[in-house]
């Protein structure tokens, strides 16, 4: 959802802006504020996914009790709430006095002071990527040990054991997917934050690369998960609007 909103917001901005901003300072600050919230939530969602994969692979026996639908909903709501609060603090000056950094009419810029910028880098980039990489490395180690154990017992696998192997392969596939997501995340976010810290402003290409991460995430999941592809097909063909669509098997 957050990735979808990033694309939607960028599309609207491209349609409305032709080198000049005509909607006023308030809408400029509000648009940038929403933009930052959505991007922050997208990163937070990646952290939640990495935690989910960590529990699924490193503690599979307790996964169903630790990761429930109720807890997942609470975590997603907290992710959005924390993003709103955090970005409100980071962009406080721009929200209190919209357009204070504009040098001419039709300009739409948001300036973050140095301290707020450092805090933003830490909590929006360094801390999330550290958590994701640490968890992923742990997942990778466990996944490799599980794969070796499966290969050593492949000759004694029964029908029941075969099902377990299939389940393990699914978890290993999830781990590989997370690895691809992390790599793409680093490729898209590193240039943006490095450029921001050095120059205090970012080139158009770097900004586009930053937002392009939100475009790549759903594509990665659609590519790796057949059930995700089926769900996307149900949505775009409008079959989801038909009675009984919730009972369609996507696994």
Is the model's pLDDT at 160 over the cut of 50?
A: no
pLDDT-based confidence at 191, cuts 50/70/90? confident
| Residue found under tokens 């830490």 | 122
Neighbours of 239 (CB within 10 A): 11
Neighbours of 246 (CB within 10 A): 7
pLDDT digits (tens, 9 = 90+) for 82-112: 999 999 988 888 888 777 666 666 677 777 7
DSSP 3-state assignment of 244? coil
Among 7-16, 132-141, 169-178, 242-251, the minimum mean pLDDT is found in: 169-178
Cut 0.85: pTM above it? no
Among 72-81, 109-118, 219-228, the minimum mean pLDDT is found in: 219-228
pLDDT digits (tens, 9 = 90+) for 69-87: 899 999 999 999 999 999 9
Sorted by where each begins, the domain ranges of the chain are: 2-215
CATH superfamily name and code, 2-215? Rhodopsin 7-helix transmembrane proteins (1.20.1070.10)
pLDDT score at 215: 80
Please spell the DSSP secondary structure of 46-88, one letter per residue.
Answer: HHHHHHHHHHHHHSGGGHHHHS-HHHHHHHHHHHHHHHHHHHH
């Amino acid at each position: 959802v957050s990735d979808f909103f990033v694309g939607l917001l960028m599309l609207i901005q491209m349609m409305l802006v032709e080198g000049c901003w005509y909607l006023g300072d308030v809408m400029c600050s509000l648009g940038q504020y929403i933009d930052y919230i959505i991007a922050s939530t997208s990163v937070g969602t990646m952290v939640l996914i990495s935690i989910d994969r960590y529990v699924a692979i490193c503690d599979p026996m307790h996964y169903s009790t630790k990761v429930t639908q109720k807890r997942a909903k609470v975590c997603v709501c907290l992710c959005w709430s924390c993003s709103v609060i955090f970005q409100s603090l980071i962009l406080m000056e721009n929200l209190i006095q919209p357009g204070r950094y504009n040098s001419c009419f039709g300009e739409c810029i948001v300036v973050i002071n140095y301290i707020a910028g450092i805090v933003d880098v830490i909590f929006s980039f360094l801390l999330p990527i550290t958590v994701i990489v640490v968890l992923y490395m742990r997942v990778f180690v466990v996944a490799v040990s599980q794969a070796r154990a499966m290969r050593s017992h492949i000759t004694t696998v029964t029908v029941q054991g075969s099902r377990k192997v299939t389940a393990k392969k699914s978890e290993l596939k999830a781990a590989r997917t997370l690895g691809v997501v992390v790599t793409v995340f680093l490729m898209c976010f590193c240039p943006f934050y490095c450029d921001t810290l050095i120059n205090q402003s970012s080139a158009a290409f770097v900004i586009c690369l930053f937002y392009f991460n939100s475009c790549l995430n759903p594509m990665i999941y659609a590519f790796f998960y057949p059930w995700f592809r089926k769900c996307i097909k149900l949505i775009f063909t409008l079959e989801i609007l038909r009675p009984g669509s919730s009972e369609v098997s996507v696994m």
